[in-house]
Structure 1
Amino acid sequence: MKTNTLSLNERRLLAVLAPLGTADAASLGNALGASPDAVVQYAGLLAENGGLARVERVVDTTYALTDEGRRYALDGLPERQLLELIGERLLMADLKAHPLASIGIGWLRRKGWVAIRDGTVERVGNAPEGDDERALSRQPLTDGPGLRGLIRRGLVTEQETVGYRIAITPAGRARVEDGLDLREEIGTISHEMLLTGEWRGAPLRRYRADRLPRRVVPGKIHPYQRLLDEMRRILVEMGFVEMGGDLIQPGFWNFDALFQPQDHPAREMQDTFYIGGEAGLPEGWERIRAMHEHGGETTSIGWGGTWEQGKARQQVLRTHLTPLSVRHLAAHTAPPVKAFAIGRVFRREAIDPTHLPEFEQVEGIVMDEGVTFSHLLGFLREFYHRLGFTRVRFRPGYFPYTEPSVEPEVFVEELGWVELGGAGVFREEVTAPLGIGCPVLAWGLGASRLAMLRLGLKDLRQLYRSDIDWCRESPISQIERRR
């Protein structure tokens, strides 16, 4: 490596260090007009680039008396002061009256200077000066016998100061002997320098294009949360408003209002998390009962049998987000309505790479005069296209509360067609008891499965792990593929 490949600061450091041989970073900083940290950085580069210097980390330990320690350095340790008060013997009651009794009595017994018999404290032996007392009297304080005990008692503080010593190596001396150009370098050629030609003889600052900058690892939003935020933004851009709702829902809204029969397998304990206690029923619950038992005022015949209030009052961890949709519709019966929800749902699932007992869904509804099944397919296709899935298709499906029903699928290289949820038009048995006379389009999509496809994951559990390396490597932004 030639001298001119060194920066000016590195060459200046070599020039100052050569006659000294070795020096601390602070004194070198004073000579160079730079901070000690900057000097250490220059020396580190010299060490890397040809071993021209050597950097040694030096730890200096200093000790200082605390306020309490300074008092005892003048007056003696509490146990020594109490021993002088005791003389040969003293009543314990009188000794306890001393301000230092709570501290000193224990140390008197620990050091074996006294014995306590029948309420009297008696002196034992000569009580020679100990290592801790000698350490307390040393000025300045130095490490040695007794000092550790003073530190543990809070009478002395210990402080470590980290410094650096820098030494020039034989290779560094040889570089100095070859000659160092210490002229000020020019980093930017000005207009005047071009006009005068001054730049031709000036030393230009050299830049190394082969050195990568230090990697910066900033704080980032979790990749899964970024995707959920992206879905939320897309739906808002499409004119939807976000719905809210509780994680715990009455069975009435989670099942009954959706025309799901009370003996449906999804309501069994092995599929649903039930919560203790009962919920109240909303106003108009009788219309839901009538719909289940005989179809109410519609042409439906319902499910027959007897609808039980007790089952409707049972509380569950919501198994889907559709109860948020029907509650929103019950409160907003006049068209138009365009609403969505993104949230966690719960089901009794065995944990494996593609199933978890809790995961996220994306729910949406559109209620308006004249909307049709074709509009539903258009909304879903647009949503998936904005997420970057260019090939979307729909397969017929079945759900208790929608008819017609479909299952949207997207095409993914290496996987083929992947099903991502369910959608359909709410049945009259759902909308009529709510007093809604317009068609309602509805869908519930698996956000977690979407995330697996977008993020290239094969294990659903990866979305919920605190994997710092994965978060760091995940790109902050992804280019969205459009139609």
Structure 2
Amino acid sequence: MEDLNLTLNEKEVLLFLKQKGTASPGDIADGTPLKIENATQASFLLEEKGLAEVKDEVSEKYRLSSEGMQYAKKGLPERQVINKIDGPTPIKDLQEMLSPQMVGIATGWLKRKGWASIEKGNIIPATDISETDDEIALAKLDETAVTLEETGIDQKVIKDLVKRKLVEKEETKSRTITITAEGRKIAASGLELTEDITQLTSRLLKSGEWKNKTFRPYNIDKPPKRVFAAKVHPYQRLIDQMRQIFLEMGFTEIKGDIIQSSFWNFDALFQPQDHPAREMQDTFHLESRSQLPGEYLETVCSMHEKGGDIESRGWGGKWDSDVAKRNVLRTHTTSVSIKHLADNPKPPVKAFCIDRAYRRETIDPTHTPEFEQLEGVVMDRNMSFANLLGCLKEFYHRMGFENVRFRPGYFPYTEPSVEPEVYIEELGWVELGGAGIFRKEVTEPLGIKEPVLAWGLGVSRLAMLRLGLKDLRELYQSDIEWLRKSPVCKL
């Protein structure tokens, strides 16, 4: 018994169960000095020691909802509709006789039950319209909650009625504690209801009471309670790490508005006004409009229509300033970078932006409508394509990726363009974004004379690789257990 190290509460419960055999926490609380929560806690401790068994049971009862009681008296919507017709009947006539809402509910169930078909706006009744199981079930139920066994209703039928909100389900949980043979043996061996001292206090020492007290021994083999220390969200920590890398490389962080005019989001980047990226499937278009920067209208218009004063043909056609005024949720943070360059056309410029972009994407394991993008630009004299590759390779090395390569790519506003890739042991080569040198059609209208290195990298995809995730949605879900268990990063 000493090895079991029973607390006073456990002794109280065990002695009570010795008399009753089986009891609920409420029964134990009524028959002992314990509260229900203390009795429950002691019961679980006894179960861990093999002295008691705790059993939880859930019973389900069903009653008619207020809507269900109405239909129990008047009949289900499909029954009320079918009783109103003898042959093909226009749906509009039925809506006038009953109500549009009832006819709308009934239509689907008439087809599902095979009571009628619908052709050219008419409901055509079937020949066999016998009583169905759900109608029988409604007749058996009332406002008093009963179990399925008491009614004899099939479980599938009751589930359908619950889905239709015609029946309400009530769950009742009960807990019983039963003494085991070993528990009965311990209880019969003689338990003294004396309180064990768990802490030696100064009062006990001064008064000398400790000499007549029983001290509960420590169990040094018992594992300690898990402690979850506060930490930065793993995704946020990776974003902070990326930010720190670019700051250490001498870049300046910039910010911009989520709502951008089409001018900065598309036109300034030399995307034609009939480009598919502007269509509804890619872009969130807004009803509002923005004022356009007057100092760039003529040069951007000229570049789009005839290629400006450089060796370019432009896109031809007529550039529409009204289209450029339309606001959108930015589809990329490049709109922030290009505006920053327009405001700072003199070299040198080294800037980056880590922020959200928005596109009309279907949510799946690799896509979300809003996502983080890491945008960067370098503008200075004598900048070359080699400088761009070196800058990106340095960033990925600092992020923990040893093997980095670049594959030729195409993007509307950079030339030449590349797609950086990193090698992951389980996945092979993984593409993580796009980069290139801004075309002169982008820089010339804004008064930028020096080469501009630019890149847009997928932050969330990089985070998935570092955290070992297979589903992008895990980065945003409110799962406290995942946050507790997940490492900050996984190399």
Q: TM-score of the superposition, structure 2-length normalised? A: 0.57
The 1:29/1:340 distance shift into structure 2, 3 A limit, reads same
Give me the whole-angstrom Cα distance separating, in 2, the residues matched to 1:422 and 1:38: 61
- Residue 407 of structure 1 deviates from its aligned partner by 0.6
Instruction: Give the equivalent residue in structure 1 for 2:414.
Output: 402
- Residue 332 of structure 1 deviates from its aligned partner by 2.5
1:149-208 CA-to-partner distances (Å, cap 9, x unmatched) read xxxxxxxxxxxxxxx9999988557536757798978999xxxxxxxxxxxxx9893415
User: 2:3 is matched by which residue type in structure 1?
Assistant: N
The 1:350/1:28 distance shift into structure 2, 3 A limit, reads closer
- RMSD of the TM alignment (CA)? 4.7
Partners of 2:10 and 2:42 within 8 A in 1: no
The structure with more radius of gyration? 1
User: 2:372 is matched by which residue type in structure 1?
Assistant: E
User: 1:314 is matched by which residue type in structure 2?
Assistant: R
User: 1:344 is matched by which residue type in structure 2?
Assistant: A
Give me the whole-angstrom Cα distance separating, in 2, the residues matched to 1:203 and 1:461: 52
Instruction: Give the equivalent residue in structure 2 for 1:241.
Output: 252
Give me the whole-angstrom Cα distance separating, in 2, the residues matched to 1:183 and 1:276: 74
Instruction: Give the equivalent residue in structure 1 for 2:353.
Output: 340
1:250 and 2:249 are equivalent in the alignment: no
The residue correspondences of 1:418-433 to structure 2 (distance < 5 A) are 418-433=430-445
User: 1:394 is matched by which residue type in structure 2?
Assistant: F
- Residue 237 of structure 1 deviates from its aligned partner by 4.3
Give me the whole-angstrom Cα distance separating, in 2, the residues matched to 1:14 and 1:37: 12
Instruction: Give the equivalent residue in structure 1 for 2:147.
Output: none
User: 2:428 is matched by which residue type in structure 1?
Assistant: G
The 1:5/1:378 distance shift into structure 2, 3 A limit, reads farther
- Residue 228 of structure 1 deviates from its aligned partner by 3.8
Partners of 2:239 and 2:459 within 8 A in 1: yes
- Residue 473 of structure 1 deviates from its aligned partner by 6.1
- Residue 416 of structure 1 deviates from its aligned partner by 1.3
1:354-373 CA-to-partner distances (Å, cap 9, x unmatched) read 44444332211223344432
The residue correspondences of 1:431-470 to structure 2 (distance < 5 A) are 431-464=443-476, 466=477, 468=479
1:65-119 CA-to-partner distances (Å, cap 9, x unmatched) read xxxxxxxxxxxxxxxxxxxxxxxxxxxxxxxxxxxxxxxxxxxxxxxxxxxxxxx
Partners of 1:217 and 1:472 within 8 A in 2: no
Which stretch shows the higher mean deviation, 451-460 or 285-294?
A: 451-460
Partners of 2:385 and 2:437 within 8 A in 1: yes
Instruction: Give the equivalent residue in structure 2 for 1:51.
Output: 51
- Residue 29 of structure 1 deviates from its aligned partner by 7.0
The 1:165/1:260 distance shift into structure 2, 3 A limit, reads closer
Give me the whole-angstrom Cα distance separating, in 2, the residues matched to 1:376 and 1:246: 27
1:478 and 2:463 are equivalent in the alignment: no
The 1:51/1:413 distance shift into structure 2, 3 A limit, reads same
Instruction: Give the equivalent residue in structure 2 for 1:372.
Output: 384
Give me the whole-angstrom Cα distance separating, in 1, the residues matched to 2:242 and 2:227: 28
SS at match of 1:379: helix
Partners of 1:10 and 1:46 within 8 A in 2: no
- Residue 253 of structure 1 deviates from its aligned partner by 0.9
User: 1:260 is matched by which residue type in structure 2?
Assistant: Q
1:4 and 2:3 are equivalent in the alignment: yes
Task: Please point out which of 366, 370, 393 is paired with 1:381.
Answer: 393
SS at match of 1:252: helix
- Residue 292 of structure 1 deviates from its aligned partner by 2.9
State the identity as a percent.
Answer: 49
The 1:166/1:26 distance shift into structure 2, 3 A limit, reads farther
Partners of 2:349 and 2:377 within 8 A in 1: no
Give me the whole-angstrom Cα distance separating, in 2, the residues matched to 1:289 and 1:351: 37
Partners of 1:280 and 1:313 within 8 A in 2: yes
- Residue 338 of structure 1 deviates from its aligned partner by 2.2
SS at match of 1:290: helix
Partners of 1:55 and 1:166 within 8 A in 2: yes
Partners of 1:364 and 1:443 within 8 A in 2: yes
The 1:311/1:219 distance shift into structure 2, 3 A limit, reads same
Partners of 2:289 and 2:326 within 8 A in 1: yes
- Residue 478 of structure 1 deviates from its aligned partner by 2.9
User: 2:242 is matched by which residue type in structure 1?
Assistant: M
Give me the whole-angstrom Cα distance separating, in 1, the residues matched to 2:273 and 2:177: 81
SS at match of 1:382: helix
- Residue 444 of structure 1 deviates from its aligned partner by 0.7
The residue correspondences of 1:115-134 to structure 2 (distance < 5 A) are none
SS at match of 1:272: coil
Give me the whole-angstrom Cα distance separating, in 1, the residues matched to 2:459 and 2:54: 56
Task: Please point out which of 410, 422, 426 is paired with 1:414.
Answer: 426
Give me the whole-angstrom Cα distance separating, in 2, the residues matched to 1:474 and 1:438: 49
Task: Please point out which of 289, 314, 326 is paired with 1:314.
Answer: 326
User: 2:312 is matched by which residue type in structure 1?
Assistant: I
The 1:323/1:170 distance shift into structure 2, 3 A limit, reads closer
Give me the whole-angstrom Cα distance separating, in 2, the residues matched to 1:11 and 1:353: 49
- Residue 10 of structure 1 deviates from its aligned partner by 6.8
- Residue 326 of structure 1 deviates from its aligned partner by 0.7
Partners of 1:386 and 1:480 within 8 A in 2: no
Q: TM-score of the superposition, structure 1-length normalised? A: 0.58
1:305 and 2:304 are equivalent in the alignment: no
Instruction: Give the equivalent residue in structure 2 for 1:363.
Output: 375
- Residue 423 of structure 1 deviates from its aligned partner by 0.5
Give me the whole-angstrom Cα distance separating, in 1, the residues matched to 2:287 and 2:261: 11
Partners of 1:336 and 1:369 within 8 A in 2: no
Partners of 1:293 and 1:307 within 8 A in 2: yes
Partners of 2:228 and 2:484 within 8 A in 1: no
User: 1:431 is matched by which residue type in structure 2?
Assistant: T
Query: Which ranges of structure 2 fall in alignment gaps of 5 or more residues?
Result: 57-174, 201-213
Q: How many matched pairs? A: 357
Instruction: Give the equivalent residue in structure 2 for 1:273.
Output: 284
User: 1:472 is matched by which residue type in structure 2?
Assistant: W
User: 2:350 is matched by which residue type in structure 1?
Assistant: V
Give me the whole-angstrom Cα distance separating, in 2, the residues matched to 1:272 and 1:166: 61
Instruction: Give the equivalent residue in structure 1 for 2:402.
Output: 390
1:386-444 CA-to-partner distances (Å, cap 9, x unmatched) read 33322211112222322222110111233211111110122233223323333322111
- Residue 323 of structure 1 deviates from its aligned partner by 0.8
- Residue 37 of structure 1 deviates from its aligned partner by 6.4
Give me the whole-angstrom Cα distance separating, in 2, the residues matched to 1:346 and 1:44: 52
Task: Please point out which of 336, 359, 364 is paired with 1:324.
Answer: 336
Query: Which ranges of structure 1 fall in alignment gaps of 5 or more residues?
Result: 57-163, 189-201
